[in-house]
A and B are shown apart, each in its own frame.
Chain A
Amino acid sequence: MYQRIIRNDFLKTKWVSITLMLLILAASMLVTLAMMIMINLSGAIDHLMVIAKTPHFLQMHTGEVDFERMSSFAKTREEVDEYQILTFLNVEGSQIRIADQSFLNSVQDNGFTVQSEKFDYLLDLGGNRIEAKEGELYVPINYRKMGVKVGDTANVCETTLKVAGFLRDSQMNSPLASSKRFLISSEDYEQIKASGKEEYLIEFRLKDLKEINSFQAAYAKAGLEENGPTLTYPLFKMMSAISDGMLAGILIFISCLIVLIAFLCIRFALLTKLEEEIYEIGVMKAIGLQHRDIKMIYLLKYTLLSLIGCLFGWIFAWMYSGVLMKDMRDNFGTSLHAGKAPFIGAIASAAIFLIIMMFVQHTLSYLKKISVLQALRYGTLQTKSNSGSCFSLSKINRMSPNMYLSMKDIMMRKKQFLTLWFVFILATFIMLVPQNLSNTISSKEFIRYMGVGKSDIRMDMKQSYKISESLEIAQKYLNEDREVKKYVILTTAKFKMLNKQNEEIPVTVEIGDQQVFPVNYKEGKPPITQEEIALSELNSKELQADIGDQICMKRNGTYMKYEVCGIYSDITNGGKTAKLSSQPIAYEDNMGSILYIKVSENAQPKTVSKKYAELFPDSKVSDMKEYMNQTFGETMNSVAKAALITTLVSLGIIIFVTVLFLNMLIAKDGYSISVLKAIGFSSRDIKIQYMFRLLLIFIVGTSTGLILANTLGESAVGSVISSFGAGTFQFETNLINNIMLSPAMMLVAVLMATLLGTKEIENKKIVDHIRE
């Protein structure tokens, strides 16, 4: 009997059933996809880091290294398992050319190295340790996107090499890592050695990764070489995961909202159905059918719908996960958990199925509330009648009857329309939050979260004996250059600060006029006097220092006190940095200088940057736009991809839910439609009335969604981003997109769905509902 009832019900409410099933499918598919990406991402990164034997602690250093002292330090530390010092030959981009591609504009520090012996291996795409032969060049996998192919001829410092393959570098794979390693043979290395600048990678592997913090403090205390960034295993992992992690995060966020939308629609469909069939329910109750039996009729249908939806959601996720995970696979190779991912996805889909079932059970408890008398006598769930005398046609002079009837209906059926209102809010949220995030990451302002002010050109001058001379020349040029509006020289130094436990913490400090290109200050202001210091948010947390607090910093062997004047966002270098105003620094503390330049209104950053690159061939000059593109390009792409998916999902939801809603509403309103037709309202009038209702709810819903996306959405994203060190995250919204383009797309979707959903009105026959 149940089989027949369900089959008939499916046939009768074909579109409603299909739409609900598609919603469940979308929710299940997105949750499964997100889970699969998460599992694969963490598995692939872990796998790569395990087989490559990624160092747990890495100190980059420019300058001389006391090998003996380093070796004895490593021996005295019990936690050290293995230690090595690798060389990294930093070569100017202008000296690297592969096929037609020049690396002149590359913002990365491109360096050449030989395969390491103990750990930190560079691997081929099959996960094997590469042994480069003479004349062979292995290129970082990221450059495959530039069009580099195996077999291409490379010209490096006038030495000709052949691209033999691509390599995966477990610590520098991420575009967020500022250096990239090319692998060559030791013979070739010797040949080009004189054309580049050698830097050292001082690497340690510990017996237990948990010891990393104490080891880091011990390294800093020992006063060993540290003229360069310090990086740790967790940071490598975070940098590797950030792009795809963001994609997965967005998918999880969106899928939660879609599950919520599916719940709202299921509830609406169920209650509408119960209201439609209240007479039959009354009869069933009257003839003695138990509550459980009646419940089963409805429960079975939704069990079937959810089962099909979740199952196909899982299958589609499985089928399409490859497209979303292509970049991930390229960068990190196959996952350790690749085999488990579909099963974890299946568990996620099963969880969605169970949650839906519980929700349907809960909604069906409504059946208990229906009394036989109420059902048979009134044939409605609402016995209270309220015609709303406050909004009466007889009291309103100038309102079209179509508009009046629409507004009256919304007032009388608030609950139903609230569901749709809520769906529009969620759809707007789904569309705008990822779009705003994508826009923020791609915007020029995003640089401010990186602890850098907004400028047009960045010119890196590495520490050398020639640096002061080069800086003087640069200043002279910049002062006279009409294409330059303003510039600042910021010198980077590495000092040690004392935390509350009196431990020395190494901190990268930027020294110079901090007011020329101010960064994003969460609290306070930039340092102006020599006694003031600004801390990055993560640094202030680590040092437990707030505005007005005094902190100690070791300079030239003595501790000096500084007052914290500002706290700013910085998501670079692990987020632990500080800023000081202009003051002299000792040569040995100096790690190099960066010049930030803003060009005049008529000048082009690209041409000015090219000019300075030619003038200062030893410096790395990058157009900031290009710098952001190359550093954050992959993250931007991931978020843009997610934003595109969510835009399409949002539009799909709007169309499906609007059609579903109209379908149910029109089925329910058959009587009213017949009455209106009988007294002289055309199908067009009635369609207009539905259009009015939908548009009213749409306008209120999208406006609320727009506000919430920019407030609640911003805080939600901000709280995630703040874990990377940006405390004052604000969306960079594209106004045209936010208030025109996106709402316009949604409006078109609503109008299309309304035209589609109201088509049935033409087929409604007056006599079907009016006659006895």
Chain B
Amino acid sequence: MNEIIIGENITKEYEEGSERRTVLNEVSISIRRGEFITIMGPSGCGKSTLLSILSGLEKAESGTIRFTGSELGKMKETQLSDLRRKNMGFVFQQPTFLKNLNLIDNIILPAVKNKNKSADIILEKARELMRKTGISDLEERSVTQVSGGQLQRAGICRALINQPDILFGDEPTGALNSKSSEEVMDIFSQVNQQGTTVLLVTHDAKVAAFADKVYFMQDGNIVNEIALTRSNDCSMEDRRDAIRDKMKILGI
């Protein structure tokens, strides 16, 4: 089986005062190993919720989510934690770090928790990732002493420290300027090229253009999708335009 995640008929509701609002309405999606997927849509369409549910951060009211064949809904909390730590990596819009720890400690923390590698190997891996993402000289810095872009790169390093099968990104460039955004997306692209599946949520066509496939969401449903080819004939601008055209048609 080549699918890494299969989500079927996912429904999610939130309580808003005395009423319940449906955020996801029987959404189904499947992601194949090695794919680079982005989910696009306007604010409040349910894209971040879908990502949270597919990654086990949140539970759905109904529907099933299978990760490499195992159903997330039937897993215990400790199993889900293990899965997140060993097989998944997360990058959020706002840098999410423990403020008490310096950058390198934040990065190696999930690996140290895994207990399957020696401290030296973990440190070597962390330093290699920091070098690749251009933050090798920030090891000892506190999270309040670096820029947003640098923090986001550190976030990617932490997400990759346990060599996950899939990397989730919820608006990973949302808080960055355009230069930093481009650099961060390049890193995602490289990671994907090295075999890691990437699933991103964004409302930015520039970011979505890095993907192989883009899903469009509206009012809690996946309303369309577009596959993008990565041939030399097709530039980033062309891919971006194709996405924008599709959005126009869909009225997003």
B-contacting residues of A (Cβ < 8 Å)?
A: 385-389, 392-394, 397-398, 401, 404-405, 408-409, 412, 671-672, 674-685, 762, 765-767, 770-772
Contact = CB atoms under 8 A, between A and B. Distances in A.
Interface in B44-94: 48, 52, 57-58, 77-78, 80-86, 90, 92-94
B189 to A, nearest CB: 23
B99 interface: yes
Contact of A412 (B97, B100, B108, B126): B100
A412 B113 CA distance: 21
A771 B170 contact: yes
Contacts of A671: 96
A394 B81 contact: no
Contacts of A683: 77, 81
25 contacts: A385-B144, A387-B143, A388-B100, A392-B140, A393-B109, A394-B119, A394-B139, A401-B112, A401-B113, A408-B100, A672-B98, A672-B99, A672-B100, A676-B98, A678-B90, A678-B96, A679-B109, A680-B85, A680-B86, A681-B85, A770-B57, A771-B48, A771-B92, A771-B93, A772-B93
Contacts of A398: 119
Given A392-B102, A397-B119, A771-B48, 15 more contacts: A392-B105, A393-B105, A393-B112, A394-B126, A398-B119, A404-B112, A405-B98, A408-B101, A678-B84, A679-B90, A679-B110, A679-B158, A680-B83, A767-B57, A770-B94
A685 B174 CA distance: 31
Nearest to A765: B58
B142 interface: yes
Contact of B142 (A386, A404, A677, A765): A386
Contacts of B48: 771
Contacts of A405: 98
Contacts of A772: 93-94, 171, 174
B116 to A, nearest CB: 13
Contact of A680 (B82, B143, B170, B171): B82
Contacts of B110: 679-680
Interface string B133-147: 000000110111100
A678 B83 CA distance: 11
Contacts of A681: 81, 85, 113
A766 B57 contact: yes
Contacts of A392: 101-102, 104-105, 140
B242 interface: no
B123 interface: yes
A517 B101 CA distance: 65
A679 B58 CA distance: 14
Contacts of A680: 81-86, 110, 113
Contacts of B98: 405, 672, 675-676
Interface residues of B, number: 44
Which of A388, A409, A674, A675 has the most B CB atoms < 10 Å from its CB? A675
A296 B94 CA distance: 35
Contacts of B92: 678, 770-771
A385 B99 contact: yes
A765 B59 CA distance: 10
Contacts of B174: 772
A742 to B, nearest CB: 34
A397 B117 CA distance: 11
Given A393-B108, A767-B52, A770-B94, A682 B81 contact: yes
Given A678-B57, A680-B81, A680-B82, A770 B96 contact: yes
A392 B109 CA distance: 11
Contacts of B80: 682
A762 to B, nearest CB: 7
Interface string B105-128: 100111011000001000100100
B119 A401 contact: no
CB-based closest 3 A-B pairs: A680-B85, A682-B81, A387-B142
Contacts of B142: 385-387
Contacts of B99: 385, 387, 672
A394 B97 CA distance: 16
Contacts of B158: 679
Nearest to B88: A680
A205 to B, nearest CB: 75
A387 B94 contact: no
Nearest to B110: A679
A392 B108 CA distance: 11
Contacts of B109: 393, 401, 679
Contact of B104 (A388, A394, A771): A394
B108 A389 contact: no
Contacts of A771: 48, 92-93, 170
Nearest to B112: A401
B96 A389 contact: no
A394 B108 contact: yes
A389 B99 CA distance: 13
A772 B170 CA distance: 10
Nearest to A771: B48
A770 B57 CA distance: 10
B96 A674 contact: yes
B193 to A, nearest CB: 24
Contacts of B90: 678-679
Contacts of A412: 100
A394 B119 CA distance: 8
Interface in B143-159: 143-145, 158
A771 B170 CA distance: 9
B134 to A, nearest CB: 19
Nearest to B56: A766
A408 B105 CA distance: 11
B120 to A, nearest CB: 8
Interface string B214-232: 0000000000000000000
B34 to A, nearest CB: 23
Contacts of B97: 675
A65 B113 CA distance: 92
B95 to A, nearest CB: 10
Contacts of B126: 394
Contacts of B102: 387, 389, 392
Nearest to A409: B100
A684 B100 contact: no
A393 B100 CA distance: 11
Contacts of B101: 387, 392-393, 408
A682 B96 contact: no
A676 B110 CA distance: 9
A412 B143 CA distance: 14
A56 B97 CA distance: 78
B135 to A, nearest CB: 14
Contacts of B83: 680
B144 A394 contact: no
Contacts of B94: 770, 772
A72 B90 CA distance: 105
Nearest to B102: A387
